[in-house]
Chain A
Amino acid sequence: MTTSDAFISIRSVSKFFGGFRAIDDVSLDIGQGEFFSLLGASGCGKTTLLRMLAGFESTSSGEIFIDGQPMSEVPPHRRPVNMVFQSYAIFPHLNVQDNIAYGLRKQKLPVARRLEMVEEMLDLIKLSGYGSRKANELSGGQRQRIALARALILRPKVLLLDEPLGALDKQLREQMQLELRALQRQVGITFVFVTHDQEEALTLSDRIAVMSGGRVLQVDTPAGLYEMPKTREVASFIGNMNFFRGTVRRNGSAMAAVETEGLGTIPIPVEQITKPDGAPVQVALRPEKFALSATRPDGTLAVEGRLRTAAYLGERSHFYVSIEGKAEPVAVSTPNISRGLDRADSQSGQALWLSWSPDAIVILDTD
């Protein structure tokens, strides 16, 4: 994505709280209609960045553009964005209908039209008939939807969501994720979504920015982030990952390989690696990319190991396998296609073979 067609453009933005650097030179482009997530552990700066988009925090340096307009001089109540707060911030002295219509007051609409719009929103969030309920008569999920409706009724160019599902229980959260995603497609508004839950970010987003220490580590699609993390930090934040130290081996320009501790020499397509011969690299492999077998499988890369521990998790099982040349055991995750953990090779100390396909490996920038 280039700067020119970016709908939200964050240009070299930093934010200091006293001497603390909350946001460290962040540049991001978000496209129109995109479901974009800011993902990171608490304190990584994701909420600060969101609040800067809303206008509740000023930028210490840099500029934010929304739809081509610089935002630094625009106060929060004049920005073309609306926010869904983590606490939902439902006005306790107003009923559902007045909460949803709150922002319409400025538009000086006839009362009938306003009610009609509120009814449409109630319909959209599947709460028709709840208009006269008081805020304290609502459940968490209902409050969340009303906060959403209250923002969406204003047709903002961008909807900002600050961990809106964090307070819900697991089942409701999963249901709301689906609804949120469907709603976003339906209304076509750009969503910027803050979460610390990587699974939620993967499920919902078109693209995700992984943040840490006020910086953006990587911006990519969910699959891109999961399958091709650039750094060890990103790789370990999203899902589980096995890391191996390796050395680049080049043989002219046709072939390249990585000599990896424990896994031997793995051939790599030349274009995947820019490092010169002999350079140290980090090699990463997801636990589910390994296959386990009792005997050496034919035709794939494989290495023999010894089972340390096995855990049955229902839909899948986790194994920790020691291999020669690597101190920590390798984590392996396999789907339980057959019933239960009834494998003959699941006893501790059992010898077994690990195999993987060479295109499953990830070469990380060393850090």
Chain B
Amino acid sequence: MAETSLSKSRTARGAPRAFGARLTRYLRRSETARGYLLMSPTLLIMTIGIVVPFIILLVISMWTRQGFSFDTTLTLANYARAWNEPIYGALLARSFWISGVATVATVALCYPMAYYVAFHVHRNKMMWLILMTLPFWTSYLLRVFAWKVILGYEGVINSGLSAVGLIDAPLAFLLYSPSAVIITLAHAWAAFAILPLYVSLEKIDKSLLEAATDLGDGPVARFLRITLPLSMPGIIAASFLIFIPTTGDYITPALLGGPDGAMIGNLIQVQFGAVNNWPMGATLSIVLMLWIAALALAFLLVTCKVQERIA
């Protein structure tokens, strides 16, 4: 960016035609300048849509609530509260636990499906992928409600089990619990796991698998030494794509979680709504963001280490 603006200010004094020609020549010569030019619309939106709001959020998080209004002196009091009061830490830990389990479950359940399409489907692969992402064609809210119907006190599972005679009273733990949230999240985000997993598996050159077999690997060794490490980018992408948004999710826990299934997202929502403590909400959002960044980094480091070990 700096380079482009520099060259512009230098050439702006010349005739407009000369300026155009020089800019063209400059762009042709400098790959960096061309890259920034291509990125500039996105960069603009990123700046306006992410960087600016983030700064606003950061500033608000350093305000404090004074009755019905905000004290705009900058202080870290909210951060101290978030650190010291156990409720915040507990909710944060539960959010990570729930969305972590949901992520692992989703990736583990979607991997075989993506594997099957990548290696054993030879015709109409697109159709299979579209069928797998079919649940995504309905609204997120509708899918959450569907699970409410399935898991409910008089829902599909309970009435089915009691009709068969396996249970006398409906199973209460199905709905309004962390497990209900995990099941729903795992189903709702499946497409986000299948697609990156499929892409990374599909890219694996089949002759590499044959070479591993030829060099003495049975199916299990071959999977662990070739398929799994080579599909690691897909696993990492899928994990991030699910873990990051689900940690902050508040619809599913609000509708299916009950008191034990509430997550940090619900608390943030309440801060910006009923409690009317925007500074605390902003603080919690930033704390969540930092934690996700730290966990993502740790996850990346661990997978790199594991990959080295496998090799």
Contacts and interface: CB of A to CB of B under 8 A. Distances in A.
Contacts of B214: 54, 76-77, 81-83, 151
Interface string A151-194: 10010000000000000000000000000000000000000000
Given A91-B226, A93-B311, A94-B311, A77 B208 contact: no
Contact of A77 (B207, B217, B311): B217
A150 interface: yes
Interface stretch (A98-106, A294-302, A333-341): A98-106
Majority-rule SS of A interface residues: mixed
A159 B222 CA distance: 21
Contacts of B210: 54, 56, 76, 83, 85, 89
A85 B311 contact: no
Interface in B197-248: 205, 207-208, 210-218, 222, 225-226, 229-230
A295 B210 CA distance: 63
Nearest to A91: B208
B215 A154 contact: yes
Interface residues of A, number: 25
A77 B230 contact: no
B7 interface: no
A77 B216 contact: yes
A77 B213 contact: yes
Interface in B46-79: none
Interface string A63-102: 0000000000001111001110111010111100010001
A98 B311 CA distance: 7
A156 to B, nearest CB: 9
Contact of B215 (A75, A87, A93, A102): A102
* Chain B interface mostly: helix
Range of interface residues on B (Cβ < 8 Å): 10 to 19
Contacts of A56: 210, 213
Contacts of A82: 214-215
B307 interface: yes
Nearest to B209: A89
A87 B212 contact: no
B296 to A, nearest CB: 21
B159 to A, nearest CB: 49
Given A89-B205, A94-B311, A83 B211 contact: yes
B218 A77 contact: yes
B215 A150 contact: yes
A150 B229 CA distance: 19
A93 B231 CA distance: 11
A76 B226 contact: no
A25 B75 CA distance: 87
A281 to B, nearest CB: 46
Contacts of A103: 215-216
B205 A87 contact: yes
Contacts of A75: 218
Interface centre among B210, B211, B213, B226 (most CB of A within 10 A): B211
Interface in B252-275: none
Contacts of B229: 93
Contacts of A98: 311
A98 B225 CA distance: 11
Contact of A154 (B213, B216, B226, B230): B216
A150 B213 CA distance: 13
B221 to A, nearest CB: 8
A297 to B, nearest CB: 57
A82 B311 CA distance: 21
13 contacts: A56-B210, A76-B213, A77-B214, A77-B218, A81-B214, A85-B207, A85-B210, A91-B211, A91-B212, A92-B230, A93-B230, A103-B216, A106-B217
Given A54-B210, A102-B225, 4 more contacts: A86-B207, A91-B212, A93-B311, A150-B211
Interface of B: 205, 207-208, 210-218, 222, 225-226, 229-230, 307, 311
Q: Which 7 A-B pairs have the closest CB atoms?
A: A103-B215, A89-B211, A89-B207, A83-B214, A77-B213, A76-B213, A103-B216
Interface of A: 54, 56, 75-78, 81-83, 85-87, 89, 91-94, 98, 102-103, 105-106, 150-151, 154
